[in-house]
A and B are shown apart, each in its own frame.
Chain A
Amino acid sequence: MAALRRLLFTNVRNVQSVSPMSLSIRAYHEKVIDHYENPRNVGTLDKKSKTVGTGLVGAPACGDVMRLQIEVGDDGKIVDAKFKTFGCGSAIASSSLATEWIKGKSVGEAATIKNTHIAKELSLPPVKLHCSMLAEDAIKAAIKDYAVKQESLE
């Protein structure tokens, strides 16, 4: 009986206690949370208007979709921008920030915005870099759509 008990307990593993301080916590950066809770420029512009460019992009790997629209004034400056994104918090924050940045810029200046700038501003971790790429491509797609519309007018 004693031998049996010894046999049963000799192989019990030692359970190490894990201190909560040693666990690293991965969380959304506060800027991302801010954009998520206080979204700026969510909405739609009239797709059919000649001064509106609509960019629609998707990320196949995660299934996120992003729509970014710009309204361009006569002076070639972006007077209004609206977005709608269905995806993770980083994607929403990236597109929200993008609309904030491009307002007031000329179309040419807006085209120079890079995903790395967005990612840096939001402190995006490497795994979420493609979300900022989505925003950069959405800006470019909106500009391209506007350009195509302007060309058809001339």
Chain B
Amino acid sequence: MNNIRSLVNAVQPAIGCLAARALSHTCRRISVVYERASAQQNVCTCNLPMHVSYRNFSDAPLTNFDDAKAARLGGNCWNCGKLVDGLSKFFCLSCGSVLPVNDSENYFTLLDTKRDFKVSLSELQKKFINFQRLLHPDKFSVKSALEREISENNSSLLNKAYFTLLKSLNRGIYMLELEGIFMGENVSADDPEFLMEIMDLNERVADAESVDALRAIRNEVSAYVGTLTDKISDAFANDNISVAKACLISFKYYDNILEKLKERLPPS
């Protein structure tokens, strides 16, 4: 094994990472571990994100997903058995195997984002794409069934996290859930004036005859939503959860109208 490792290490700069990986795979799946540039991501010296599994252990690796999850809960890697570094979310730093995500993670921690109502969408997208590059099931097509299952779960969880945090309404509702507050199926007749306003807006959308009329309504509702998101942002910043919840409820009604408008307006 050492001969193969030194061989691949030696030729890697010449033939590149992908070829080196293919070479090591053909050598009976005995592969090499590249020194990582950063603690969290497995990045090879050429800066292509990649990881390889390293089998050099005394105990046989686990093969069942639930066992792997249990191992993770206990702080161990299912493959090499070593203790998992607290920093690594998706990969074992010792052997590079993909790991099931810990239960303590939430959508913000998964995407390496500060838990806040205001997020930078471009940063979020960058992180999402980078993590999916490492975790997408297509990258695991030649790996064991367990690794494929783990990567599918992780990738799907990442999708959920990204698309929840992307829209401010869903982000706000998720932040409430993290505080233990759920919207629930209750019906309310509270705030009849607000409900009347929503009724009026809906009727105007239904009766609108021209694209201009629809656009006017959209601009009006977008303005209301803008004020609301500012309020929500302040409420979360000041830990004013009840105000945040009330605003998010109003936001939901406006958002439904915006969705209806989106259907009727040509893409702009």
**A positions within 8 Å CB-CB of B:** 3-4, 7-8, 11, 13, 55-65, 67, 84, 86, 129-130, 133-134, 137, 141
Contacts and interface: CB of A to CB of B under 8 A. Distances in A.
Contact of A8 (B142, B253, B255): B142
B199 A133 contact: no
Interface in B179-227: 183-189, 192, 195-196, 198-199, 202-203
B199 A65 contact: yes
Contacts of B126: none
B262 interface: no
Given A11-B142, A65-B195, A84-B203, A137 B253 contact: no
Given A58-B198, A60-B249, A130 B26 contact: no
Given A86-B202, A133-B185, A63 B143 contact: no
A130 B187 contact: yes
Nearest to B192: A56
How would you classify the secondary structure of chain A's contact residues: helix, strand, loop or mixed? mixed
Contacts, number: 70
How would you classify the secondary structure of chain B's contact residues: helix, strand, loop or mixed? helix
Contacts of B25: 7
5 contacts: A59-B186, A59-B187, A60-B188, A61-B252, A63-B255
Contacts of B142: 7-8, 11
Given A58-B195, A60-B183, 19 more contacts: A8-B142, A55-B189, A56-B195, A56-B199, A57-B187, A57-B189, A59-B187, A61-B185, A61-B186, A62-B252, A65-B195, A67-B199, A86-B198, A86-B199, A130-B185, A130-B187, A133-B185, A134-B187, A137-B189
Contacts of A11: 141-143
B6 interface: no
Nearest to A59: B187
Question: Which has the most chain B C-beta neighbours within 10 Å: A59, A84, A129?
Answer: A59
B63 interface: no
Nearest to A133: B187
A108 B15 CA distance: 85
